[in-house]
Amino acid sequence: MNKAVMQYDTVALDETIPALVIIDQTKLPGKVEFLSLTGLEDIREAVYLLKVRGAPAIGVAAAFGIYIVADKFKTENYEEFYAQFKTAKEKLASARPTAVNLFWALDRMEKLVLDHRGEKTAVLKKLLKEEALRIRNEDVDACRKIGEYGLSLIKNGDGILTHCNAGQLATVKYGTALAPFHLGREKGRYFRVFTGETRPLLQGARLSAFELSADGIDTTVICDNTASLVMKKGWIQAVFVGCDRLAANGDACNKIGTSGIAILANYYKIPFYVCAPTSTLDMNIPSGDSIVIEERPPGEVTEMWYKEPMAPEGVRVYNPAFDVTGNSLITAIVTEYGIVRQPYSRSLAELSSRLK
């Protein structure tokens, strides 16, 4: 089943029910379980509890989710339909605060409803379904292109360090930061991928290692605090990470621990690449200082993976889900439109203008 799981989309739409179909990532790697979700609360909970996670996958899940919820609206009145849509949208948007794809996808679905003001609700439901599927297809296409561009930055036999999971499990297919390795394997290329465990939720050890090894890619899990040593040994020729929100100046918000790896890569003169679909680009955020960082429950640090709590009862816990890597530490940003380099304020502005 481990090998077969790579043949499935991480996020899918069952059009017959309709339902959001996801792989429950909280059960990996021990169990591959698919969930079929039809209710607003269940879909929101899946996002909040990280059953579906990764910025692109969250965006696609939100698009499918809001369509599925809207498809159940009984009213034939446009204003009532939109009022219910707005309430559902706000509920889904509250699931997580940092990854911009969640809001980007929901805003795009809302714009469609507003652009078709006065239409019959049956037409709106059909249009929402088509838009959600379009967002899904765009994600697959963007990830494959990111993989192709990323592949051009590395040589056969290179050792690459990655952090968290920015692979197929974080998107519909291929992934972002792991896409070059999946595509490289298809082309007969060989890489040695080192994945940091990524405390406290272990997305590297549980998820990246799972999908990479399932795809037949040479994979080694390391403790997060081993990154400096493997770099010093000369085992790492490049670092590839994903991105949950990219600021206008090129500051990149990603899973907690990413900025420390970037500092180490800079010290050891190792290129540090951020793989970011343009759906994560937020030109309304001038720098990473403006990004709201999600804080997660203390129990994820003190007891989640232990038979007994591993910290004194009542001790304070600081558990941010993300940190921000300053643009000066980023060698290049890999997007579906090409590889973007310094100065990022100019190159990202030019890229953004192409998207309008």
Residues annotated catalytic, as ranges: 244
Q: Which two tokens stand for residue 185?
A: 């394997």
- For the chain, first and last CA: distance in Å? 42
Three-state SS annotation for the chain: CCCHHHHCCCEEEECCCCEEEEECCCCCCCCCCEEEECCHHHHHHHHHCCCCCCHHHHHHHHHHHHHHHHCCCCCCCHHHHHHHHHHHHHHHHCCCCCCHHHHHHHHHHHHHHHHCCCCCHHHHHHHHHHHHHHHHHHHHHHHHHHHHHHHCCCCCCCEEEECCCCEHHHCCCCECCCHHHHHHHHCCCCCEEEEECCCCCCHHHHHHHHHHHHCCCEEEEECHHHHHHHHHCCCCCEEEECCCEEECCCCEEEECCHHHHHHHHHHCCCCEEEECCHHHEECCCCCHHHCCCCECCCHHHHCCCCCCCCCCCCCCCCCECEEEECHHHCCEEEECCEEECCCHHHHHHHHHHHHC
Residue 112: which of 85, 84, 75 has the closest Cα? 85
Which residue in 286, 260, 320 sits closest to 97, CA to CA?
A: 320
Under a CB-based contact definition with an 8 Å cutoff, are residues 214 and 3 in contact? Answer: yes
